[in-house]
Amino acid sequence: MPLNLADAIPDTSSPEREFLWTLNFGPQHPATHTTLRLILTLDGEVVVHAIPDIGFLHSGFEKLGEHLDFNQYVTIVDRMNYISPVSNEISWHHAVEKLLDIDLTPRCKYIRTIFAELMRIHDHLVCCGAAALDLGAFTAFLYAFNLREKINDISEVASGQRFHPSYTRVGGLLCDVDDVWITKVRAFIKLFYAAYADLMKLLQRNRIFVDRTRGVGVLTKEEAINRSATGPIARASGVTRDLRKDQPYLAYKDFDFKVVCSTEGDCYARFLVRMEEMVQSIKIITQAIENIPSGPINIDVNSKFVVPNQMSVYRSIEGLIQHFELHMTNRQWETPKEEIYAATESPNGELGFYIVSDGSGVAYRARTRPPSFIHFSLFPHLIVGHQISDIPAVLGSINIIAAELDR
Amino acid sequence: MSFADIKEKLTAKFEKLNLEFSSFRDNDRVIVPPTDLFEILSYLKTTFCFDMLIDLSAADYLHLQGATHRYGVWYALLNVENGERLIVKTHLDDPDPRLPSMYDLWKGADWMEREVYDMYGIEFDGHPDLRRILLPDEFVAFPLRKDYPLRGMGERHNFQSVIRSES
């Protein structure tokens, strides 16, 4: 059993392997975007062996999850995958709500669905834009980031924060959305198609982009299944799994959309799957935004799961008691002493939470199933046999978010 | 193949083992002894086609009231063909918690097992490359164990830093 990193690096000193050389890639390198390190063994420019060395951003999120209550931990969760923050919040509260057996109000379900899909577009825009940037297509990146800004504005209108909205709460949302928000989402739908067409025109048939991504980093269907790939990466390899269809959570069963798949499994297929998923997402948003039900966003206060609004805290004794109960650290939620695994389809793949509950309002164990972590373990397999210049293409196509990778 | 079928077939095949089946919300679980874990999981993979290992992680039940064992390790399985899920759980105790590695069945277990080793110190026999993954190699504690304090044991404070005049 090798005990440390030095033991794992292949020995290149023996005469029959002396043509190999070792290159340290990162932890600070523009093409890695975030802090991750690769130790590459190269034959000329061809990668023969790659060892990812991760953990530079490890900050003990899962340990914190054992000390913060269900509503507090949401602020940590949306810092995991910071390019689709609301997806993480929805996933976390999806697990908590399953543990508490909460059925959300229709309005809350619709708003959460719209947010989840906006975040999917946000994530895919950043991913495709940054992947193109690494391959030299700077313009595409700017077009993608311009559109992404609009989604940040939508988050700001809803929650007051652009980047880390912390918008969901147990059994509901932080606050209701208003007409300005709905107008902004409608405006975004109009803007999207134009920007999407620009992005496709810049990349889809771009000779350099296609040459550098097609046939690079091929993941077969068998390998994708065996190595636990989920989300767009698995779907680009022909695995037709999508939690939105398999276990329809939130309001997904009300909408008409397709699961986007490809059979190629290379970087170009992953790019195309992401681009087409954005179109499906905008289809869901278009259907949802015109049909948002009226009514409350939080479930009934009598269920003792949601924080009552300010008016009932100040004007009624029940509201005051409920507010006190949920905010005192020795009281809070009463949870069943059980364990639950619940997952949602985050932009990057299956984002799951496994909660072990000891009956209190703080998880005894809050395990995250991070898609980035699992997808990065594919990387050494994908890159072997390719050239060193293919590393940015493969890294960009599997969309590694280091904060989620290291947690 | 529903959970009832799996239950029936598993009990028939491993009748000596006294497997515990339970369901909570939509999670179907089976608790198995660690000694027969590899056999049961490979049986599940081949017979019921659970071909994807969705999640593998552990918990430390040190302070949990009513817990009978120190560690629990779970394997969340998915049948890609029909989307069926099953959670296989096993319990372990100090000293020397160890399990067989599932790397031979699912390559996806590679990093997940390394993370469990890193955080809990549970060793996986047969893993090709079992070393710390998120924490540095020189780290000695296992931070997600419940006897490890939230604010650490002074690793950051005592970290040997090299200053310019000494280098």
Please write the tens of the pLDDT for every residue from A244-262: 888 888 889 889 999 999 9
* Helix, strand, or coil (residue A181): helix
Mean pLDDT computed over A183-203: 91
Contact residues on chain B for A337, CB-CB shorter than 8 A = 66
In a domain, B24, yes or no: yes
Long-range contacts from A159-166, C-beta under 8 angstroms, 24+ separation: A163/A82, A163/A85, A164/A75, A164/A78, A164/A79, A164/A82, A164/A85, A165/A78, A165/A85, A165/A86, A165/A89, A166/A74, A166/A75, A166/A78, A166/A89
Q: Is B113 on the interface with A (CB under 8 A)?
A: no
Our CA-based measurement puts residue B103 at a distance from the nearest CA of chain A, in whole angstroms, of 10
Specify the pairing of strand B27-32 against strand B85-92.
Answer: parallel
Query: What percent of chain A is modeled with pLDDT above 70?
Result: 99
Which residue did the predictor score with more confidence, B155 or A239? A239
Q: State CA A66 to chain mean position distance.
A: 22
Q: Can you give the C-alpha Rg of chain A in angstroms?
A: 22
Evaluate whether A50 touches A384 at the Cβ level (below 8 Å).
Answer: yes
Contact residues on chain A for B55, CB-CB shorter than 8 A = 341, 352, 354, 367, 369
- What local confidence, expressed as pLDDT, does residue A32 receive? 66
- Smallest CA-to-CA distance from A55 within A128, A4, A110, A21 is with A4
- What local confidence, expressed as pLDDT, does residue B76 receive? 92
In a domain, A176, yes or no: yes
pLDDT above 90 (res A392): no
Whether residue A120 sits in one domain with residue A30 = no
Structure tokens at A316: 């009624």
The helix (run of H) or strand (run of E) holding residue A50 is strand A46-53
In chain A, count H helices and then E strands: 18, 8
Whether residue A200 sits in one domain with residue A285 = yes
Evaluate whether A124 touches A277 at the Cβ level (below 8 Å).
Answer: yes
In a domain, A324, yes or no: no
Distance, CA of A361 to CA of A329 (rounded, Å): 8
Please write the tens of the pLDDT for every residue from B149-160: 988 888 878 877
**Residues paired with residue A42 on neighbouring β-strands, in sequence order:** A21, A47
Whether residue A230 sits in one domain with residue A162 = yes
In a domain, A282, yes or no: yes
In a domain, A84, yes or no: no
Specify the pairing of strand B98-100 against strand B123-125.
Answer: parallel
pLDDT above 60 (res A1): no
Among candidates A3, A64, A228 on the partner chain, residue whose Cβ is nearest the Cβ of B53: A228
Evaluate whether B123 touches B117 at the Cβ level (below 8 Å).
Answer: yes
Contact B80 A338 (CB under 8 A): no
Contact residues on chain B for A356, CB-CB shorter than 8 A = 59, 64, 72
In a domain, B99, yes or no: yes
Among candidates B130, B137, B144 on the partner chain, residue whose Cβ is nearest the Cβ of A62: B144
Main-chain dihedrals φ then ψ at residue B151, nearest 5 degrees: -90, 15
Mean pLDDT computed over A275-304: 89
In a domain, A165, yes or no: yes
CB pairs under 8 A between A and B: 118
Contact A341 B55 (CB under 8 A): yes
Number of domains chain B is built from: 1
- What local confidence, expressed as pLDDT, does residue A156 receive? 92
Query: Which region holds residue A362: left if phi is over 0, alpha if psi is between -120 and 50, else beta?
Result: beta
- What local confidence, expressed as pLDDT, does residue A323 receive? 87
Q: Is B65 on the interface with A (CB under 8 A)?
A: yes
Return the amino acid letter for B124.
F
Contact B64 A364 (CB under 8 A): yes
CATH number, position B47:
3.30.460.80
Please write the tens of the pLDDT for every residue from A194-224: 889 988 998 888 888 898 888 888 999 998 9
First to last CA, chain B: 65
Number of Cβ within 10 Å of residue A318's Cβ equals: 12
Distance, CA of B70 to CA of B40 (rounded, Å): 22
pLDDT above 80 (res A9): no
- What local confidence, expressed as pLDDT, does residue A277 receive? 92
Distance, CA of A391 to CA of A138 (rounded, Å): 18
**Structural domain that includes position B38:** 3-125
What residue of B is the nearest CA neighbor of A36? B134
In a domain, B33, yes or no: yes
Q: What is the largest CA-CA distance in chain A?
A: 83
Q: Describe chain A by its helix, strand, coil percentages, rounded to 5.
A: 50, 15, 35
In a domain, A32, yes or no: yes
Among candidates B64, B83, B133 on the partner chain, residue whose Cβ is nearest the Cβ of A358: B64
Q: State CA A404 to chain mean position distance.
A: 8
Distance, CA of A119 to CA of A100 (rounded, Å): 26
Return the amino acid letter for B154.
G
**Structural domain that includes position A18:** 5-53
Please write the tens of the pLDDT for every residue from B51-105: 899 999 999 998 888 888 999 999 999 998 888 899 999 999 888 888 999 998 8
> In this structure, what is the dihedral angle of CA atoms A235, A147, A88, A319, given to the nearest 10 degrees?
-140
Distance, CA of A82 to CA of A163 (rounded, Å): 7
Evaluate whether A309 touches A326 at the Cβ level (below 8 Å).
Answer: no
Chain A neighbours among B 2-21 (CB < 8 Å)? Answer: none
Residue A111's pLDDT band (cuts 50, 70, 90):
very high
Distance, CA of A42 to CA of A48 (rounded, Å): 6
Structure tokens at A143: 């077009």
Distance, CA of B111 to CA of A403 (rounded, Å): 17
In a domain, A248, yes or no: yes
CATH number, position A121:
1.10.645.10
Q: Is B51 on the interface with A (CB under 8 A)?
A: yes
Q: Which of A97, A344, A353, A367 to mutate to test the interface with B (most CBs of B within 10 A)?
A: A367
Contact B115 A373 (CB under 8 A): yes
Whether residue A293 sits in one domain with residue A146 = yes
Q: What is the DSSP letter of A15?
A: G
Our CA-based measurement puts residue A149 at a distance from the nearest CA of chain B, in whole angstroms, of 32
Q: Which residues touch B106 (CB under 8 Å, ≥6 apart)?
A: A226, A227, A228, B45, B52, B53
pLDDT above 80 (res A17): no
Whether residue A249 sits in one domain with residue A377 = yes
- Smallest CA-to-CA distance from B25 within A308, A342, A392 is with A342
In a domain, B117, yes or no: yes
Mean pLDDT computed over A164-177: 89
In a domain, A82, yes or no: no
- On whether ipTM exceeds 0.90, the answer is yes
What residue of B is the nearest CA neighbor of A8? B129
Distance, CA of A298 to CA of A320 (rounded, Å): 17
Mean pLDDT computed over A105-124: 92
Residue B49's pLDDT band (cuts 50, 70, 90):
confident
- Smallest CA-to-CA distance from A307 within A323, A288, A329 is with A323
In a domain, B26, yes or no: yes
The Cα-based distances of B60 to A60, B64, B133 in angstroms read 16, 9, 19
Lowest mean per-residue pLDDT among A101-105, A106-110, A307-311: A307-311
Contact B64 A341 (CB under 8 A): no
Q: Is B59 on the interface with A (CB under 8 A)?
A: yes
Number of domains chain A is built from: 2
Distance, CA of A103 to CA of A172 (rounded, Å): 10
Q: Is B26 on the interface with A (CB under 8 A)?
A: yes
First to last CA, chain A: 26
**Residues paired with residue A344 on neighbouring β-strands, in sequence order:** A351
The helix (run of H) or strand (run of E) holding residue A299 is none
Q: Is B42 on the interface with A (CB under 8 A)?
A: no
Evaluate whether A36 touches A54 at the Cβ level (below 8 Å).
Answer: yes
Report the mean per-residue pLDDT for chain A: 88
pLDDT above 90 (res A187): yes
Please write the tens of the pLDDT for every residue from A309-360: 888 889 988 888 888 888 888 888 888 888 999 999 999 889 999 999 988 8
Q: Is B115 on the interface with A (CB under 8 A)?
A: yes
Contact A98 B25 (CB under 8 A): yes
Whether residue A42 sits in one domain with residue A181 = no
pLDDT above 70 (res A2): no
Distance, CA of B141 to CA of A61 (rounded, Å): 17
Please write the tens of the pLDDT for every residue from A44-61: 889 988 888 888 888 889
Mean pLDDT computed over A283-309: 87
Among candidates A3, A55, A67 on the partner chain, residue whose Cβ is nearest the Cβ of B150: A67
Whether residue A290 sits in one domain with residue A165 = yes
Among candidates A228, A246, A377 on the partner chain, residue whose Cβ is nearest the Cβ of B52: A228
